[in-house]
Structure 1
Amino acid sequence: MRGGRRVAGAGLRGFRTTVVAALLLAASAAAALAALYPREARRFMAEEDFRRYPGAGVLTCRTEEGVPERAAAAWLIGDRGLVVLNAHNFVDRKLRPTHPIDDCAFSIGEKEYAFDIDSLRFGFARDAKSLNITDDWALVRLRDPVDADIAPQPIPDAPALPTGVETLRVVMVSPAGHSNFRRATSIEECQIRQIDAPTEAGIRRARHDCNDGYGGSGSGIFSDDGRLIAMHSASLDMNSRRDFDMERHFGMALLFEGELLEAIRANLRADAR
């Protein structure tokens, strides 16, 4: 009997060890999938979402091993050859180069398209010392236009939104997904909570409560009627799962206005000539 109890005890200890290991693994997985806020309303993008937001694409870049991986969201905009995305995909906050664009490509409609690397334009000034949210944009043309059956996102109009505290229901569209979300794409109804004063470039920062994760950079923020109004850039305290706080815990996007909108229109005019 004593031997039987010893075997049973050993089995129980092994069972407890297995349970503890499973709980630790579950906790680790939960941390990896933690959203920015306690509320989690993201879902996978369906076919109808891609029809509603036609320019939704993905920036893919090769790792040091040469393996292509999803890096961020990017948008085909205005025509079949122009892409808008975040500048921080290629430079850090001190504007030091981090990833050469010739190691990257634009994916849309299950195909990959090479960039015309000489066409790359950043939103920050040549004499800038750091990267700010409102100049965290880049425009680049594709070496060849996308297939004729792929429609670009229409050129947005400057959003007629007042500066200041303003609650506006929006949709965040993340064609590259998020590192803390189980699916490859993500879409979520959320809110813009405040729009800050414009910079010298005439672009304003929007503070929002949309969930985010690494890979969500460049996500489009759309109004209820499907108009593109902003591009997500960064969030404070990633994966913290804390309530939105106007000063210490919020997502940041730049509105499609000022120099960004002017640059898009100028690029399209130049290409049309």
Structure 2
Amino acid sequence: MAQGQRARGVPAVCGVLALFAWAGIGAAVGDDATHPPREAGPPARAPARDVTETAALYPHDGRRDMTSGDRARYPGAGVLWCRRPDGVPQKAAAAWLVGTASTVMLNAHNFRNRQLETTRAVGDCYFQIGGRNYDFVAESLRLGVAADATRLHITDDWALLRLAQPAEGPRQPVPDADPDLSTGDLSLPVTLVAPGGHQNYRGDSSLETCTIRRIDPPTEGGIRRARHDCNDGYGGSGSGLFDEAGRLVAMQSASLSMNSRHAFDIEFHYGSALLIEGALRDALRRAQREDTTPQAP
């Protein structure tokens, strides 16, 4: 597929007729959510949601709560929190500490819309991991879109931010190239790790074993889009897809026909994730080279 071409039923990132997981970013998790104190644990859980009104994407929902063992296996799992116009913080999306103690990877659509218009200021957000909160260096935002881009797509829907203070604890390693991850139809078992949870799941975080079914040819930044059958929900953007060896292979971007409980369909009803390769992996490696934070022994 040539750059700029899109298969039938495939959005740039956000569509009008189809609802997308990332379209719900910024929607309140609960009006009673309160700002977690600095250096404290996660905020009090919002009131239980009525999941009967927001069903999963597919008839089978195999998600479960993340455990302490899961968090040890996926050490970079964190959450982006952002303040509403009234100043109340809310859970926005998944985000990942990758490569260094100061590098956070997440979706570009947390800060830009489909037309690349600014929708949120970095200064209104912070990163939470390991029960601690960290501010961003606002001017450090790097978007995956090219300088001459006019639209945000699945394969350039990534951003990197630097923390004002290095995070404590381990982080996710930068994935190495995987020549065996071939373009085309395949059946790759993966685990979708959603540290921010989904609005159509009762827990604060979730994990599910599912499958990548197709990898499209590279487009923006030499990055390929993976179509998968993992359940997603509003707020689940940025979730990580890991292979059976525990390697981070992709980052969730959007899903078609949200909350429909339709059967998976490779052309019309699937989840979209961007592989950690091309310009994104290059940017992560560059951040690693430029990092001056002393490494833990």
Asked if TM exceeds 0.5, the reply is yes
Counterpart of 2:166 (choices 145, 150, 174) is: 145
Residue number among 170, 183, 186 corresponding to 2:203 in the alignment = 183
Q: What one-letter code is carried by the residue in structure 2 that aligns with 1:115?
A: F
The C-alpha deviation readout for 1:190-238, integer Å capped at 9, x for no partner, is 0000000011521000000000001100000000110000000000011
Aligned to 1:196: 216
The one-letter amino acid paired with 1:156 is P
**1:169 aligned partner:** 189
Which residue does the alignment assign to 1:90?
111
Residues 159, 256 of structure 1: 8 Å contact kept: no
Conservation of the 8 A alpha-carbon contact between 1:37 and 1:244: yes
Distance in 2 of aligned mates of 1:30 and 1:184:
13
TM-score, length-scaled by structure 1: 0.87
Post-superposition Cα deviations, 1:20-76, rounded to whole Å, max 9, x if no partner, equal xxxxxxxx9344340010001000000000000000000000112211111000000
Equivalent residue for 1:266?
A: 286
Give 1:124 deviation, angstroms. Answer: 0.3
Contact 1:231/1:254 (8 A) holds in 2:
yes
Structure 2 residue runs of 5 or longer lacking an equivalent are: 1-48
Output the CA distance in 2 between the equivalents of 1:178 and 1:162. Answer: 30
Between the aligned residues of both structures, percent identity stands at: 57
| Equivalent residue, structure 1, for 2:173 | 154
User: Larger Cα Rg: Structure 1 or Structure 2?
Assistant: 1
CA gap of 1:200–1:178, structure 2 versus 1, over 3 A, is: closer
Taking the aligned partners of 2:153 and 2:159, their CA distance within structure 1 comes to 13
Residues 30 and 173 (structure 1), Cα distance of their counterparts in 2 relative to 1, 3 Å cut: closer
Equivalent residues of 1:31, 1:239 under 8 A apart:
no
Contact kept, 8 Å, 2:100 with 2:291, in 1: the verdict is no
Taking the aligned partners of 2:141 and 2:256, their CA distance within structure 1 comes to: 28
1:157 to partner: Cα distance: 1.1
Q: Secondary structure at the match of 1:171?
A: strand
1:223 aligned partner: 243
Q: Which whole-Å CA distance do the structure 2 matches of 1:32 and 1:231 have between them?
A: 26
Determine if contact 1:105/1:115 at 8 Å carries over to the other structure.
yes
TM-score when scaled to structure 2?
0.80
Unaligned ranges ≥5, structure 1: 1-27
Q: Distance in 2 between matches of 1:238 and 1:191?
A: 18
1:161-205 CA distance string (max 9 Å, x none): 010001111000000000100000000000000000011521000
Cα gap change, 1:219 to 1:120, in 2 (>3 Å): same
Q: Deviations over 1:224-266 (max 9, x none)?
A: 1100000000000110110000100000000000000001101
Q: Which residue of 2 aligns with 1:131?
A: 152
| Matched letter for residue 37 of structure 1 | Y
The structure richer in helix per residue is 1
Map residues 30-49 of structure 1 onto 2, 5 A cutoff.
Answer: 30-49=51-70
Of residues 142, 145, 149, the one that matches 1:121 is 142
Instruction: Work out which structure has the larger RCO, using CA pairs closer than 8 Å and 6 or more positions apart in sequence.
Output: 2
Contact residue 159 and residue 255 of structure 1 kept, 8 A: no
Q: What's the CA shift string for 1:84-107, capped at 9, x where partnerless? A: 000000011111111111000000
CA distance in 1, matches of 2:178, 2:118: 32
Number of residue pairs the alignment of both structures matches: 244
Q: Stretches of 4+ moved more than 2 A in 1?
A: 28-33
Deviates more, 1:176-185 or 1:263-272: 263-272
- Is the Cα–Cα contact under 8 Å of residues 72 and 176 in structure 1 kept in the other structure? yes
